[in-house]
Amino acid sequence: MPHVILLIEDNQTDIELTRRAFAKGNVDCELVVKEDGQEAINFLCGSDSIFEEVKSALPDLILLDLKMPKFSGIEVLRNIRQHNRTRRIPVIVLTSSAEESDLAAAYDVGANSYLRKPVDFKKFVEAVNALCHYWLELNEPPPQ
């Protein structure tokens, strides 16, 4: 069964680039996309009725943009870390932000890694491959 990766990203161009990078890199996963922070929180930590629908679909890895409408990536990450059922999911901040304050804030609220999106597509594919290889193949995940 392929791994499930949740991409939380509001930029359509970045969503398509990420899809293409996963395809080009032959990453064996199901990529689930949520386009704003509220949608992501509802998917991951929603009400009891939503909980039953998504229980089996919790992702193995979350790729999180920081600059989003409704809830910022930092707010989404804070919410993920506050819920027992989601707090152990690895969260990789995948952003174009080079601001030191964003980097510090992401780690302060529980990011497992912070990756600036490479501008060059070939380097982006390499980064996605390395990221998936480490987090989905080499890393020993926490117990459920």
Contacts 24+ apart (CB under 8 A), 115-124: 117/14, 121/17, 121/20, 121/21, 124/17, 124/21
Provide the residue count of the chain: 144
Q: Containing H/E element for 94?
A: strand 91-95
List domains and CATH numbers for the chain. 3-137 (3.40.50.2300)
By mean pLDDT, which of 22-31, 32-41, 118-127 is the weakest? 22-31
pTM beyond 0.75: yes
Q: In the predicted model, is pLDDT for residue 56 greater than 60?
A: no
Say what the pLDDT of residue 84 is.
Answer: 87
Owner of token pair 């899809």? 19
